[in-house]
Amino acid sequence: MEGSSPAGNAMTTPLSNRLRRLVWWTGALAIPSITNAQPAVAQPTGARVAAVRGVVFDSLAGVPLGDATVQLVSADGSGAFGKTVSADRTGQFYIDSVPDGRYALGFFHPKLDSLGMEAPLRMVQVSNQQNAVVGTGIPAPKAYRAMVCGSAANPLGNAALVGFVRDATTHAPVPGATVLVSWLEMSLGGAGGTQIRTVRRTAKTSDNGWYSVCQVPSPGSIQVSARSDAGGTDTLQLEVPSSGLLRRELAVGAAHVTVVQDGASKADTSGLPPRVMQTGDGTLRGTVVGAAIGASAGRPLVGATVGMANGPQTRTDAKGEWTLSSLPRGTRALEVRAVGYYPERLAVDVVEDAPPQHVSLVTFKSVLDTMKVIASPAPLVAGGFLERRRSGLGTYITANDIAVKTAMMTSEIFRNIPGIYLEYPQSADIDGERPASSMNSPEPVVLMRSNAGTRCFPTIVYNGTLMQHLSTPDLNSFLNPKNILAIEVYRPGQAPPNFQIGLSGCGSIVLWTR
């Protein structure tokens, strides 16, 4: 069912027509008890009549679904009875004057469209003029995944990624767009030993822009992008929750390619190879604050770097505010960093009237302190360092190796390690392979050689935790070489999936501390 909507085009038909499709899975909803619930409409007085009451509940979000339109119709399709009411803000509804009979109960709410669903139905039996209490709503994640992907178990995982692809300018659904999802998987044992492979899934959007991709890892990291005739998105790093369902709307837009010349070469006067940037007519603004982990509020960060990957960049002002213009429209990857703070990379929608982005960075010291508390007393054994060293993949540096180097700063440990470079980000590059960088540091940064042959920023893993886009100045500020027990260095394609952020194309450096 990848790439197709479970609702098809039915979401555009009247609710009464959809109610004639008597399809519903009993028990799919996690609806709370409503025995003592008060009806949203006062119960009529006078002659004894039957009533159907209940609550509309969103089992995906775990909250009542307020202001839904609820309809009860005769199940035989005769039209002998039909009544429509509105649920209140707590999702409760009350339908009076219901004669004996068998009925179909359904509802409509905008969230159904956002999930690509038809109105789910419940069967209700009214007998001897006895009131009936019934619940309905959006099914729980497991039942919803079964609707989209089928109920059969799959060894690759049963999680699903769903959503709509829309045009970033008109907001109209984009049919026929391609959604590409990829992630890394590692298999152990066998004649080939440890093997790492890239798994890719593609889906085409339906006429209403809906897409679904099944069998994605949960929990886990995936990379997602979309392409259509209207343009595309950046490659996004998304986290699939343990519930096994991730919903992400994607906006596609055109990007103009701008060639930027970064300066003269040290080797000759021909200049560095041009760098390609993506630009457009989009604008995004917001604020950046910094705080320790657990703090209720932060202070504005001055001079923090905010920018798009391969796109425009800026810095925050004295109030921590920033504005980025000339951005390509669509769903893009926003990167925010400040010296001494853990960087953030998040997916944002560059569209007309986009809301301001409020980004809170936590101090790198508080991140390290938290991980030091939860680190195992024997991290090398618990983290599998000794076992991986026996496998032969990667370069392994022990505490004795570090002591021999007599390094004053952590970055100095990486000198003379094959495939690793220590270079200054603000200087011109000799071979023209340096990645675009917004950092301006007096200290050299750690770079590696990517699959494409250019230099790149490796993934840093600290005591088993991924530290995305961690800068070398931060390493030197908060890590003393004397506290490092061991280091693992993996070139592209060597790192285990849990030590690599998506399909970065770069390598990984894994640090274990006392």
Round the CA-based radius of gyration of the chain to a whole number and report it: 28
79 contact partners, CB below 8 Å, separation of at least 6: 73
Contact 85, 165 (CB under 8 A): no
pLDDT, position 93:
95
CA 318 to chain centre: 31
In 3-state terms, what secondary structure has residue 143?
helix
What is the helix (H) or strand (E) element at residue 260, kind and residue range? Answer: strand 256-260
Q: Picking from 72-81, 84-93, 195-204, 428-437, which range would have the lowest pLDDT averaged per residue?
A: 428-437
Mean pLDDT value across residues 231-246:
89
Q: Which of 91, 114, 139 marks a domain boundary?
A: 139
CA terminus-to-terminus distance, the chain: 49
pLDDT exceeds 70 at position 279:
yes
Do 294 and 418 lie in one domain? The reply is no
Instruction: Note whether residue 218 is domain-resident.
Output: yes
Q: Which two tokens stand for residue 82?
A: 């039909």
Instruction: Note whether residue 147 is domain-resident.
Output: no
Do 69 and 209 lie in one domain? The reply is no
Q: State percent of the chain over pLDDT 70.
A: 71
pLDDT exceeds 60 at position 375:
no
Q: Which of 217, 252, 287 marks a domain boundary?
A: 252
Do 32 and 60 lie in one domain? The reply is yes
194 pLDDT band, cuts 50/70/90, is: low
370 pLDDT band, cuts 50/70/90, is: low
What is the helix (H) or strand (E) element at residue 401, kind and residue range? Answer: helix 399-405
Between 439 and 423, name the one with better pLDDT: 423
Between 79 and 130, name the one with better pLDDT: 130
SS3 content of the chain, % helix, strand, coil (to 5): 15, 40, 45
Do 178 and 58 lie in one domain? The reply is no
Q: Which two tokens stand for residue 244?
A: 């096994």
Between 146 and 329, name the one with better pLDDT: 329
pLDDT, position 382:
53
Do 271 and 190 lie in one domain? The reply is no
pLDDT exceeds 80 at position 40:
no
CATH code of residue 345:
2.60.40.1120
pLDDT exceeds 80 at position 12:
no
467-509 tens-digit pLDDT: 765 566 667 767 778 888 889 998 887 888 778 776 667 888 8
With 0-12 / 13-18 / 19 or more C-beta atoms within 10 angstroms meaning exposed / middle / buried, residue 34 is: middle
Q: Which of 312, 337, 362 marks a domain boundary?
A: 362
Mean pLDDT value across residues 362-367:
70
pLDDT, position 465:
77
In the chain, how many domains are there?
4
Do 241 and 288 lie in one domain? The reply is no
Buried b (16+ CB within 10 A) or exposed e, 102-137: ebbbbbbbeebbebbbbbbbbebebeeeeebebbbb
Report the 10 Å Cβ neighbour count for 470.
23
Do 293 and 200 lie in one domain? The reply is no
Instruction: Note whether residue 4 is domain-resident.
Output: no
Do 352 and 291 lie in one domain? The reply is yes
Residue 322: which domain range? 267-362
pLDDT exceeds 50 at position 295:
yes
Do 371 and 476 lie in one domain? The reply is yes
Instruction: Note whether residue 63 is domain-resident.
Output: yes
pLDDT exceeds 90 at position 260:
no
pLDDT exceeds 80 at position 296:
no
Report the 10 Å Cβ neighbour count for 69.
16
Instruction: Note whether residue 436 is domain-resident.
Output: yes
Instruction: Note whether residue 2 is domain-resident.
Output: no
Question: CA 298 → CA 213, 291, 363, distances in Å?
Answer: 38, 4, 10
445 pLDDT band, cuts 50/70/90, is: confident
Q: Picking from 46-50, 117-121, 372-376, 486-490, which range would have the lowest pLDDT averaged per residue?
A: 372-376
User: What is the secondary structure of 159-199 as a DSSP string?
Assistant: EEEEEEEEETTT--B-TT-EEEEEEEEEE--STT-SEEEEE
439 pLDDT band, cuts 50/70/90, is: very low
131-162 tens-digit pLDDT: 999 988 888 888 888 888 877 656 556 789 99
Q: Picking from 333-337, 350-354, 387-391, which range would have the lowest pLDDT averaged per residue?
A: 387-391
CATH code of residue 449:
2.170.130.10
User: What is the secondary structure of 22-82 as a DSSP string?
Assistant: ----TT---PPP-TTPPPSSPPP-SS--EEEEEEEEETTTTEE-TT-EEEEEETTSS-S-E
Between 497 and 301, name the one with better pLDDT: 301
Mean pLDDT value across residues 404-414:
79
Do 389 and 509 lie in one domain? The reply is yes
What is the average pLDDT score of the chain?
A: 77
Do 332 and 403 lie in one domain? The reply is no
CATH code of residue 161:
2.60.40.10
Do 379 and 495 lie in one domain? The reply is yes
Contact 95, 85 (CB under 8 A): yes
pLDDT, position 288:
95
